[in-house]
Amino acid sequence: MPSTQRPSAPVSPLSPSGASSAPTEAELLDFVRRTAADAALVLSLPLDPEGRTWVRLDGPGGSEAWLIGWPPGTGTGWHDHAESLGAFATARGTLRENSLAVRLPADGWKTLELAEDIDRSRTLPAGRGRAFGRHHVHEVLNESPVEHAVSVHAYYPPLPLIRRFSRTGPVLRLEQVERPEDWQ
C-alpha cells in the first residue's frame, strides 16, 4: 500500500468483468495483468523521484485497486493485507517480492520467531504478476538504482487494515496497524 503521496479520485482503466459476486484471486490477477498492459494508463501516472505515487482505480467486483509508481531503491517494508485477497502485476521496470510461506495468527501477538525455510523471493519484471491469499506477509521492492517501476494492485474485500512489521533475522515484530483513513 502506498505511503507517501495522496491518491486522486478512482480511475476506471478497464471495464470490470461485471460479476456481482466477490472476485477470486484469479480474477484479481487477470485484472491487474490487463490493467498493467494499458500503456496509456501507466504513462499517465505522475512519478516522483523521491517517494511512491499512486492513483486509486476501480477494481472488479467492488475490489480496491491502485496504480503505484516506485522510485529507484524504494519498497514497502514487511506487511500484510489482513483478511483481503490480493494480486499485483508489474507494468514497468522490475519488482522483487520477498514473502513468508506461513500464515500468521490474525491477532494476539506482537513478536514471533519464524521457523527456518519459510522465506520466498520472486522477481517480477514488466508483464508478470502474482495473486495471494489472506494474511500473506510480504515486502515489495524496486531494487533498481536508476529506473522507476510501476505496478497495479487489487484487493478484495477492500483493505480493512494493513499490519506493518519489522524483521530482524527470524524475529518478526508487529510495529503498526494502518486503517483506510491513514491512506485514503
pTM assigned to the model: 0.86
* 146: its cell numbers: 536508476
Report residue 1's pLDDT band, with 50, 70 and 90 as the boundaries. very low
Give all strands of the β-sheet with 64-70 in edge-to-edge order. 53-58, 64-70, 149-156, 85-92, 129-132
Q: Which domains does the chain have, with CATH numbers?
A: 25-182 (2.60.120.10)
For residue range 138-163, what is the model confidence (pLDDT) as tens digits? 999 999 999 999 999 999 999 989 99
Nearest residue to 150 (alpha-carbon basis) of 69, 31, 40, 33? 69
Share of the chain above pLDDT 90, in %: 76
Mean pLDDT of 40-46: 97
Whether the upstream peptide bond of residue 157 has omega within 30° of 0, thus cis, is: yes
pLDDT at 14 > cutoff 90: no
- Per-residue pLDDT, 9: 43
